[in-house]
């Protein structure tokens, strides 16, 4: 197969690209990425010379460019990971999120439709896979806020207090609204044109190579540099955390074995209040840096809550576990240890992305040209 993975130089994307390139040497994996601030080809330096890997610098909102990519590479499958994903940025500039997340997805769908319908086999053996988020579902309430601290990978409670694949969409931020719009377009292309599609909705990802605007790498870097740790409100908001390599494994299973037109929720069975997660993070970083226990607690700084800040997200992952045999591989404490060690062992990567040096490097090499 010839498979496009959009946003493959980003956080989740680089893990998916690496997995597919290494696991499926008979397939050609085409990484399509615009190399915006969150895209970094250094994330893929270990596979960049492999014969079944190809990089194309292109904008998924550019219809002619996407038509050309589809045609020139005889594309059989698309995994759409290209997205603006930071809620704070969406509040400041919702137009960018609408363009990339909604219009970009629509552009990919139309380019795929045009190319696949021109093929003798039409849609046979083709698939458009949309990677979405649990944030499209809205927010859950804290039915027992004192009972949620760190429930761990063995926590398998389900029911109305968890997002199901059938949960009604109810986005509350420009980011989640743009992703919800994209998902609706994807489903419409199946219902209207018969395009084979699948969608997955994941919980908060963490792990190596995440751009340090997100909570975990930001706080690791801030602790490392003795900077404040800004906590929204009282830190009572609850998130379900998923190790990125486990997410990549789930994407692999869904792409190759999932049912067409189905939705799969992917969660980590790891609900944590933000403030409790931050305390675990502080203890782990301080221990690995050789600091005394409690050394960085003073860096916690409570700030005004974010507008429209959803109280709680929690994923019911029974469907993917039951149908495809997927489960998280790590307890949260194991994943945090592995993650913190990676960032502390790779200070140059952190310094390059926070300084923007990597962007200047790509601009000097590629400018605005497509890279093939």
Active site (catalytic) residues: 134-135, 175
| CA distance readout (Å), 70 to 32, 77, 173, 346 | 11, 10, 32, 36
Q: Cα–Cα distance between 59 and 94 in angstroms, integer?
A: 18
Contacts of 118 (CB under 8 A, 6+ apart): none
SS3 (DSSP) at 158: coil
The sign one gets for the Cα dihedral 171, 174, 175, 180 is positive
> What is the token pair recorded at 149?
């601290």
Core vs surface per residue 242-266: b (16+ CB within 10 A) or e:
bbbbbbbbbbbbbbeebeeeebbbb
Q: At what angle do helices 274-289 and 215-224 cross, to 10 degrees?
A: 40
Q: Rounded CA gap, 60 and 101, in Å? A: 9
């Amino acid at each position: 197969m010839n498979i496009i993975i959009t946003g493959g130089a980003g956080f989740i994307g680089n893990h998916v690209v690496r997995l597919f390139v290494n696991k499926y040497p008979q397939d050609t994996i085409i990484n399509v990425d615009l190399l915006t601030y969150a895209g970094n080809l250094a994330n893929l330096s270990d596979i960049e010379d492999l014969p079944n890997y190809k990089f194309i610098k292109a904008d998924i909102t550019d219809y002619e460019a996407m038509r050309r990519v589809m045609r020139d590479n005889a594309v059989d499958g698309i995994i759409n990971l290209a997205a603006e994903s930071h809620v704070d940025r969406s509040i400041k500039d919702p137009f960018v999120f609408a363009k990339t997340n909604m219009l970009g997805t629509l552009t990919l769908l139309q380019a795929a439709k045009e190319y696949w319908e021109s093929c003798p086999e039409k849609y046979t053996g083709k698939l458009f896979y949309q990677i979405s988020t649990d944030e499209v579902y809205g927010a859950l309430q804290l039915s027992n806020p004192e009972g949620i601290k760190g429930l761990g990978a063995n926590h398998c409670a389900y029911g109305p207090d968890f997002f199901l694949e059938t949960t009604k969409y109810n986005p509350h931020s420009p980011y989640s609204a743009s992703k919800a719009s994209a998902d609706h377009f994807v489903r419409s292309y199946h219902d209207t044109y018969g395009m084979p599609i699948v969608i997955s909705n994941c919980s908060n990802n963490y792990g190596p190579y995440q751009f340090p605007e997100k909570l975990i790498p930001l706080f690791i870097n801030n602790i490392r540099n003795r900077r404040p740790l800004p906590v929204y409100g009282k830190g009572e908001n609850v998130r379900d955390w998923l190790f990125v390599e486990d997410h990549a494994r789930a994407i692999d299973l869904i792409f190759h074995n999932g049912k067409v037109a189905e939705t799969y929720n992917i969660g980590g069975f790891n609900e944590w209040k933000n403030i409790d997660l931050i305390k675990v993070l502080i203890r782990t970083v301080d221990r690995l840096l050789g600091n005394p226990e409690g050394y960085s607690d003073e860096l916690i700084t409570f700030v005004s809550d974010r507008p429209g800040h959803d109280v709680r997200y929690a994923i019911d992952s029974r469907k993917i576990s039951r149908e495809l045999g997927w489960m998280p591989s790590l307890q949260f404490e194991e994943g945090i240890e592995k993650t913190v060690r990676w960032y502390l062992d790779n200070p140059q990567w952190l310094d390059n992305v926070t300084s923007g040096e990597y962007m200047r490097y790509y601009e000097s090499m590629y400018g605005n040209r497509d890279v093939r």
